[in-house]
Every structure is written in C-alpha cells, then in structure tokens.
Amino acid sequence: MTEQAAGVDLHAALEGEACVLHPGERALVPTGIALEIPPGYEAQVRPRSGLALRHGISLVNSPGTIDADYRGEVGVILINHGNEPFVIENGERIAQLVFARYERARFVEVEELGETERGAGGFGHTGR
C-alpha cells in the first residue's frame, strides 16, 4: 500500500456465503486481515453508523483495540440490538478501523491528588 489513509474499512471474511445474527446475539466475525502496526500506535475498531441506524448492529466492545504487537487476524465482535435477524453477507462492510497514537504513562502512588473545582463529582454531577 502506498497511499496514506486515516483508516480502512473492515469486511466480513466468512467461510460460507453469509451468516445470520439473531436479535440479542453476538458473534466474532473474521475480516481476513492482519496488521503490523508501528510501536506507539494502536488501531481502533469502530461501528458503522448506517448498520447501527438501519439494523441495530453495533460492536460489543466499541472501540475494539488492536494492539501494535498483535499479529493475528482482526476480528469484529458484532451484536444485534435490533428486532430482526441480520444477515451478514460475505465481503460486507461491517466496521471501520482508525489508527491512533497513544501516550505512555508512568504511575506514581501519592497520598493526595491536586484540588479542582469538580473534585470527585462526576456522572452528571453538574446537572447539565
């Protein structure tokens, strides 16, 4: 590959022509691709909004993390949140992959944390 891209589409690479995901069911769908991601980067598997809106198809673990040192096949963990069985066709675009740089952190144990206006308030604490 010579062109640069922010991400890439992921297609179902099934053994047969198609498979069915019944309402409430989840499945690991193979994509037929494997990656060598440079250290310091990860790939994130994200759902497709069209499948989500039209069929209630999403990812169980969104975003899925593809580690830089992972050399296996990228899999997509689809879930059917809709009311109808969803047929996954072989070759169908089921998700998208984007690449992201991440920071490395060094953890230091302390007695107290720095003060802020928010403090420990979270989960809708501001009422807005």
Ligand X SMILES: O=c1ccn([C@H]2C[C@H](O)[C@@H](COP(=O)(O)OP(=O)(O)OP(=O)(O)O)O2)c(=O)[nH]1
Q: Which of 46, 83, 84 is nearest to 64 (CA)?
A: 46
Q: Which of 10, 66, 78, 97 binds ligand X (CB under 6 A)?
A: 66
What is the pattern of x (binds ligand X, CB under 6 A) and - over residues 5-44?
----------------------------------------
- Looking at the DSSP bridge assignments, the partners of residue 50 are none
Kindly tell me which of 71 and 128 has the beta carbon lying closer to ligand X: 71
Cβ-based neighbours of 102, under 8 Å, separated by 6 or more: 40, 41, 42
Q: Least Å distance between CB 107 and ligand X?
A: 19
Q: What letter would DSSP give residue 97?
A: E
Helix, strand, or coil (residue 77): strand
Alpha-carbon distance of 44 to 63, in angstroms, equals: 6
Q: Which of 25, 67, 84, 89 binds ligand X (CB under 6 A)?
A: 67
Which part of the chain contacts ligand X (CB under 6 A), choosing from 4-12, 13-21, 64-72, 85-93?
64-72
Residues 74-103 that bind ligand X (CB under 6 A): 74-75, 77
Rg (CA), the chain: 19
Footprint of ligand X (CB under 6 A): 45, 61, 64-67, 70, 74-75, 77
